[in-house]
Amino acid sequence: MKKLILDANMICKVFGNDDLSVSDLSNALLIGCRFKVAAVRGGQLSDEYMRIIKYRSVYSELERAGRMILADDNAVRLDTDHVAQLSFLRSDDPHILALARIADVRILCSHDKDLHADFTNQSIIPSPRGRIWQNNSHSHLLQ
Amino acid sequence: MEVTLITERIRSFDKRTEIDIKPITFLVGENSSGKSTLLSALNALGEPAGFPFNTNFNRAPFNLGTFSTIATDSGGRAGRASSFILGFSLISGKRKNRVVATYVNSDGYPMVSSVHVINNSGSAKFDIVKNQLKVTFVVSDSQHAVVVGMPRREMTSSSAIINRLLQKMMSDSKSKKGRRRDDHAIGSLFQILTNGLNQYPRTSSLAPIRTKPKRTYEPGVKPYSAEGEHIPFRIARTFAEETPQEQDIALMEALSEFGKSAGMFDGISPRFLGSAKLANPFQLMVNTAGKKAVLTDVGYGVSQVLPVIVESITNKDSDYLLLQQPEVHLHPKAQAALGMLFAKLTAEQLIHPLIIETHSDYIIDRVRLAVSQGVLRPEQVTIVFLEKVGRFSQAHQLSLDDRGNILNTPLRYREFFMREQLQLLQRTVNV
């Protein structure tokens, strides 16, 4: 099972299930088609997910299907504070970086360029190097 | 005690299927995916003095039928399997025991043709051909064999077979030299067989449709029934105790806790229609918000859930309790309460391991929640997902982590549920 982090700014696109450019991830997450993947949530990202009210029922269903995994919330929040203090941080998403570190996730689905830079920075997320999935052309990462 | 169920070529399970039984084991999957088949197999294993030589494949409440309804039908040229396998492995502390039996068709009924026993004492293999029993066994790396003539009709139990074997070996030993070596072999075989055939997972089952409630119950003792006819009598006995035992108190507390969490009742108690208590007829009273009503005058869910709770706590005759759809007639709130009750009772070791065939997400969700709250350890729970692939079934054994996440799910797992959710969501978005 490949673990990944789905940035809140991608939720509507992926769960809306009508954007063909992300269909590989939509189908894999929503109906378990082709790729065995699980989206990891925890810390502030969970809060962001919960603010997108219309997909709350989808999160529960994904968890029942084992395709959404809850990370250790306290550990993520603690590490978020730690990551936020790094002087070379470019993005304003330390919670996502902390989630990747705590839950050992190395695939990020996001359109945020600054976050891409941080996610692939091995001083923040150590080896193996973080990889970015943005659309179906990156689906080899889901194998 | 850790038990693994072993089946092969039984109904839709064409391949070797091994299921590790945990303190809480859920069997989930679509209709006709094999949930009841696995419960039936466990039920057949768990009858005293039955498996492997006199296995009752139709032990109530299950009915696997005859050889032709048990052995896998692969269709086409392959047709029906000529044999099938049922067995278990059991680990209890340092003791290990594995018994696997093969059954063939005998006038339409399954008849054991071979049994393989492996345990700490050694290994033995029975082969039964017509009225002859051949036993090959290995003790301290040396192989022995003994052949006994024994009519099939006398092979009614493990103890009958063990006795016959030992008689034969002892008479052989007396008639020849080298008796000391034979005595050692006889003793070793006795160990293998008694350890192997007398240690098995004893099971009891509750049927999905439980008995109807009655306004008044006549005094007496009812024997165990899979429909739970004996349950009112067990409750009456529990409450009639002058000094309740630990188990009685646990039952009273569990009933009260479940009833309140489910919003169904505050307590259950018998009303004896006479001063001599158990010698008189009695009614089961359901206490709700300070008022008592007879069991027949409240919602049907109460009478249907009582056997599940009472049997879980008070069953003394089994190692495992097999439950078919304990959620029947229960509102989701009550299903959730039942899930939490199972989790707490398991954590407190007040109940035997439960093997639960269910369609209830609410029960499973609560058990997952209990794991995430530290009430249960993740290794105490497993979800066995049964998937129908063509005419065959596959079992996927899923585990939990300490946050209640479900791990190792196969592709397409719960596809139907997600599609339903998305359709509803799409409807909302369009509006």
Residue B354 belongs to a domain: no
Using CA coordinates, name the residue in chain A closest to B360.
A64
CA closest to A73 among chain B residues: B403
pLDDT value at position B247?
A: 86
Q: Which of A31, A36, A67 sits opposite B419 (nearest CB)?
A: A31
Residues of B in contact with A67 (CB under 8 A): 409
In this complex, do B422 and A57 lie within 8 Å of one another by their Cβ atoms?
no
Q: Are the Cβ atoms of A64 and B428 closer than 8 angstroms?
A: no
**Is residue B213 located within the same domain as residue B71?**
no
Instruction: Give yes or no: residues B234 and B192 share one domain.
Output: no
B244 lies in the same domain as B111 = no
On whether both B212 and B194 belong to a single domain, the answer is: no
Domain membership flag for residue B5:
no
B403 touches chain A (CB under 8 A): yes
What is the pLDDT at residue B152?
Answer: 82
Record: contact A63-B406, CB cut-off 8 A: yes
Longest dimension (CA), chain A: 41
Residue B127, domain member (yes or no): yes
- Residue B291's CB is within 10 A of a number of other CB atoms, namely 9
Confirm whether B263 is domain-assigned: yes
Q: CA of B235, closest CA in chain A: separation in Å?
A: 36
A71:B409 CB<8 A: no
B421 touches chain A (CB under 8 A): yes
As to burial, measured by CB atoms within 10 angstroms (0-12 exposed, 13-18 middle, 19+ buried), residue B287 is middle
Across the interface, do B421 and A61 touch by the CB < 8 Å criterion? yes
Mean pLDDT across chain B: 92
Domain boundary pick from B266, B296, B317 = B317
Interchain proximity B407–A1, CB inside 8 Å: yes
Q: Quick one: B131 and B235 in the same domain?
A: no
In the predicted structure, residue B113 carries a pLDDT above the cut 70:
yes
Two tokens, residue A125: 């997320």
Average pLDDT for B159-176:
81
Q: How many CB pairs under 8 A join A and B?
A: 70
H or E stretch at B187: helix B179-198
Which of B403, B409, B424 lies at the smallest CB-CB distance from A66?
B409
Query: At A117, which CATH number?
Result: 3.40.50
Place B257 in a pLDDT band, splitting at 50, 70 and 90.
Answer: very high
Residue type, B187: G
Going by pLDDT thresholds of 50, 70 and 90, the confidence category of residue B181 is: low
In a domain, B28, yes or no: no
Among B317, B346, B367, give the residue marking a domain's end: B317
Mean pLDDT of B228-247: 90
Concatenated DSSP letters of B313-355: HH--S-SEEEEE-TTTT--HHHHHHHHHHHHHHHHTT-S--EE
User: Do residues B194 and B225 share a domain?
Assistant: no
**pTM of the prediction?**
0.94
Among B365, B407, B421, select the one facing A66 at the smallest CB separation.
B407
Interface test with A, best of B401, B421, B427, B428 (most A CBs within 10 A): B421
Query: Which residue of chain B has the CA closest to A66?
Result: B406
Residues B162 and B273 in one domain: no
> B130 burial class (0-12, 13-18, 19+ CB within 10 angstroms)?
exposed
Segment among B165-174, B217-226, B394-403 with least mean pLDDT: B165-174
Judged against a pLDDT cut of 90, whether residue B425 lies above it is answered with: no
> Which positions 344-373 of B are in contact with A (Cβ < 8 Å)?
361, 364-365, 372
Residue B179 is predicted with a pLDDT of 58
Cα A27 to Cα B70: distance, rounded to the nearest angstrom: 38
Nearest CA in chain A to B429: A54
Are B92 and B169 within one domain?
yes
Number of structural domains chain A divides into: 1
Q: Name the pLDDT band for B428 (thresholds 50, 70, 90).
A: low
pLDDT tens string A32-67: 999 999 999 999 999 999 999 999 999 999 999 999
3-state SS, residue B199: coil
By residue count, chain B amounts to: 431
Could you tell me which residues come within 8 angstroms of residue B420 by beta carbon, excluding any fewer than 6 positions away? none
Task: Give the per-residue pLDDT at B154.
Answer: 84
Per the structure block, which two tokens stand in for B331? 């509102």
Check CB contact under 8 Å for A36 and B429.
Answer: no
pLDDT of B431 reads 42
B395-398 contacts, C-beta under 8 A, 24 or more apart: B395/B13, B395/B17, B395/B19, B395/B34, B395/B38, B397/B19, B397/B20, B398/A66
Residue B132 pairs with which residues in a beta bridge?
Answer: B129, B149
In a domain, B335, yes or no: no
pLDDT tens for residues A80-120?
A: 999 999 999 999 999 999 999 999 999 999 999 999 999 99
Question: Do residues B146 and B227 both lie within one domain?
Answer: no
The stretch B300-308 carries a mean pLDDT of 95
- If one compares B144 and B64, the residue with the highest pLDDT of the two is B64
Give the domain extent around A49. 2-142
- B422 within a domain of the structure (yes/no): no
Q: Please state the rounded mean pLDDT for residues B359-380.
A: 98
Name the more confident of B215 and B144.
Answer: B215
Q: Per the CB < 8 Å rule, is A65 touching B411? A: no
Q: Which residues 227-286 on chain B approach chain A with CB closer than 8 angstroms?
A: none
Helix axes A73-84, A94-103, angle to 10 degrees: 130
- Binned at pLDDT 50, 70 and 90, residue B429 comes out as low
- The string of DSSP codes covering B232-250 is HHHHHHHHH-SS--HHHHH
Q: Bridge partners of A26?
A: none
* B260-287 residue pLDDT tens: 999 999 999 999 998 888 899 999 999 9
- CB contact (8 A) between residue A70 and residue B404: yes
The residue out of B317, B349, B376 marking a domain boundary is B317
Q: Is the pLDDT of residue A25 over 90?
A: yes
Q: pLDDT tens across B59-73, in order?
A: 999 999 999 999 999
pLDDT at B176: 64
B186/B52 same-domain check: yes
**Do B207 and B227 form a contact (C-beta atoms < 8 A)?**
yes
What are B252's two structure tokens?
């009273």
Residue B280 lies in a domain: yes
Of B119, B196, B138, residue with least CA distance to B162: B196
Question: Which of B372, B408, B411 has the CB atom closest to A32's CB atom?
Answer: B411
Q: Please judge whether B404 and A1 are an interchain contact, meaning their C-beta atoms are less than 8 angstroms apart.
A: no
Q: What number of other Cβ atoms are within 10 A of residue B71's Cβ?
A: 22
Rg (CA), chain A: 14
Q: Which residues span the domain enclosing B308?
A: 208-317
- What is the tally of structural domains in chain B? 2
Cα A15 from Cα B184, distance rounded (Å): 70
At B151 the pLDDT is 86
The reply to whether residue A36 touches residue B364, judged by beta carbons under 8 angstroms, is no
